Amino acid sequence: MRLLIHNQKGGVGKTTTAANLGAALLRAGRARAVLLADLDPQMHLTAMLGAGTPAGAWNVADWLSGRAGAPRPVAEEPGLSLIPGAALLPEHMVLPAQDVPGRWTLLDSAPGWSAQIEAVSHWAELVLCPLEPDFLGLSGASRLLARFDEIGVPRSRIRFLLCRFNARLGLHQDVQARLTERFGPELVMAQTVRSSVRIAEAPGFGRTIFAHAPGSNGCTDYEHLAKGLAPAGTPVPGRNAA
């Protein structure tokens, strides 16, 4: 399964979701292996999980250029590996034609838009769009969906995920309701990722939420997300308590 994690807005939880969803897919039994690819030139995913990556190591630019190499295993996360980021992505990409059976590939993208993001959007089987539950996030979701419509990515491949969600806040409930009313439950994930200090702390320790704070709400939320993600044509899963 090929999953692009993208939003044109920065700071919405893309990198956090890539790392923690990857670990959750393994724990939920949805994948035998998970490959994380850091497509963001800021390389936050690499900073989080790629400690000790030497300068000049095989990286995502090499991977997208078709040059052979090996991803780096992520410490404390059996089955999870990382293709480190690069300052520049190749203009002409060579995306793998076939998947490894039982493996998910999660692509952590840069904010904004580029020819590379457009190409990867078509290559991905699902596009997960994290956003914050505020009205700027709601407006951004409309623009992002319009962008996907323009380039011909089917809406059946798109999923919106509310991050830093607090069900006790009326604003968050209102944004969730409006998002679902506007785009439907097929596009808006029933699962949410709650606001969590533990999730925010984990990158500073170079860990996923599962290694940093086992049993926390963040673990529960990402496990629910891993179980709820499904390709187009499968039934929409039920809501989790958030």
Sheet holding 103-108, edge to edge: 72-73, 80-83, 33-38, 103-108, 2-5, 126-131, 158-162
Answer whether residue 210 shows pLDDT above 70.
yes
Dist. CA 222–CA 213, nearest whole Å: 13
Answer whether residue 235 shows pLDDT above 80.
no
Tokens of 176: 């969730």
The arrangement of secondary structure in 2-37+93-228, i.e. its CATH architecture, is 3-Layer(aba) Sandwich (3.40)
> What pLDDT, in 10s, does the model give residues 184-198?
999 999 999 999 999
> What pLDDT, in 10s, does the model give residues 158-181?
999 999 999 999 999 999 999 999
Task: Provide the percentage of residues in the chain whose pLDDT is more than 70.
Answer: 95
Residue 231: pLDDT band with limits 50, 70, 90: low
What pTM was estimated for this model as a whole?
0.93
* Cα 1 to Cα 29, 37, 102, 164, 197, distances in angstroms: 14, 13, 8, 26, 30
